[in-house]
Amino acid sequence: MSEKKKIKSALISVYYKDHLDEVVKKLHSLGVVMYSTGGTQSFIEGLGLPVIPVEELTSYPSILGGRVKTLHPKIFGGILGRRELESDLAQLEQYEIPELDLVIVDLYPFEETLAGGAAEKDVIEKIDIGGISLIRAAAKNFNDVIIVPSRNEYLPLLKLLEEKQGYSEIADRKAFAGKAFGVSSHYDSAIFNYFNADCSTIAFKQSEHQHQILRYGENPHQKGFFFGDLNAIFDKLNGKELSYNNLLDVDAAVNLMADFTETTFAILKHNNACGIASRPKLIDAWTDALAADPVSAFGGILITNTTVDAETAAEINKLFFEVIIAPAYNADALQILKSKANRIVLIQKKVELPKTNFRSLLNGAVEQDKDLKVETASDLKSVTTVAPSASEIKDLLFANKLVKHTKSNTIVLAKNGMLLASGTGQTSRVDALLQAINKATNFKFDLNGAVMASDAFFPFPDCVEIANQAGIKAVIQPGGSIKDKESIEYCNNNEMSMVFTGFRHFKH
């Protein structure tokens, strides 16, 4: 198996031509014979460089509106011919097939066309056939051929050409081949997911080229990567790069805030809200969100659904925090928030987020629909003699949104559009309630008139009994326990109101 090979011929057929001029000029200077098709051929000719049309090689024109151009034995034979096999070389000579040492391809922009909302016929026409076949063929024969599978590899190829003056080694060719199969598998996954939008075929296929190397993972001894395009969701105005843990918290914050339409401010720590409030004025929402737990707020993630003004920014600036997310910032507010060099300031763009989520599990993965259910007053079923008041219903729905985004088992206590306390991630629902009551008491909150939300049903009436003793008089929960009747009876006997939603909101 020969290590070092000289590039004597190249087939070039690309969609995007950024930096291609530099590449083809270098190939020409090295004496490489270039073959090309259609628009790429015209591009090279426009540079005043010699290029052989593929049609001269195949003796067939481009047909079917350009659908068939390179699908021919004289093309694929020149790519797949094994130079170390005498029998392959003899057949190449017999059929007058030139060896092709370099293949440069850039596929039709299927994903970009789909994302642009194009009609189905236009999307289908952007499914590349010849290009993907060329990529796979050249990558398979990496022993003899270099494959450049996308515009992202034009400049790496140019660097190779300049450094090695038209030669390549097996390590170079194998590295390009690996990238090529990455391109082809990603392309096919995107097409599959388009055709499988209705999930008629049950299969897990996720692919993402764009990535960011993180400083480390959840802990310093773990490697970490983010796969995706953060720039599609955020404009970063200030600060260092987001860490692995930052990203987890930012994801939790964005999903939480998506459920609120009124002016709201939230503070998150370890994926859970430690403070949140909805108010007509942003400064009041911030003040009351911070009041819920000013201790945990230190080093937290802040998010709001309203433009941040200078008054609010000045108060926020008194707290050390990692990240702030908002739809916009006033100029004066931004100047205040950017006063700390490492503080991450993000503008959240209006983009539609995925409606499913997945995670690795054991030796595979699990995938599910996101919990997008947001209960309204019409979803509530009053099951007690006493019905909640209008203000209590408003607080119950507020608390129920928080329950959905808090680690199970959880209990949320709220009052007047503000989080008072929550019990998070407890193995017992009673423990979650006791944790919430203890926390609210420590921060001097009066629980009389507060409401309680639970992410799942109460298996016993102990939770409503403990809540009543703390001064809570209104409860929201999914219902569905075989002992619901006991909880209802306790509420009736103690003039408490309770509503069922019919929807559980576990979060693990």
Q: Is 270 among the residues known to form the active site?
A: yes
Which of helix, strand or coil describes residue 484?
helix
Going by the DSSP 8-state scheme, the letter that residue 316 receives in this structure is: H
CA distance 415 to 472: 10
CA distance 186 to 174: 18
Tally the C-alpha atoms within 13 A of residue 240's C-alpha that lie toward its C-beta. Answer: 13
Tally the C-alpha atoms within 13 A of residue 3's C-alpha that lie toward its C-beta. Answer: 1
CA distance 283 to 264: 10
Plot region of 457 (φ>0 → left; ψ -120 to 50 → alpha; else → beta): beta
Q: Which residue has the tokens 């060099």?
A: 341
Positive or negative, the CA dihedral 126, 131, 137, 138 is: negative
CA distance 123 to 125: 5
The H or E element that residue 235 is part of is strand 234-238
Q: Is 140 among the residues known to form the active site?
A: yes
CA 182 to centroid of chain Cα atoms: 19
CA distance 1 to 106: 29
Residue 68 backbone phi and psi in degrees, to 5: -125, 110
At position 161, the amino acid (one-letter code) is L
Give the active site residue among 26, 236, 270, 340.
270
Give the active site residue among 26, 140, 236, 340.
140
- In terms of DSSP H, where are the helices of 86-153? 86-94, 110-115, 120-125, 130-140
Going by the DSSP 8-state scheme, the letter that residue 33 receives in this structure is: E
Structure tokens at 6: 């000289």
Going by the DSSP 8-state scheme, the letter that residue 488 receives in this structure is: H
Confirm if 292 and 272 have CB atoms less than 8 A apart. Answer: no
Positions marked catalytic: 140, 270
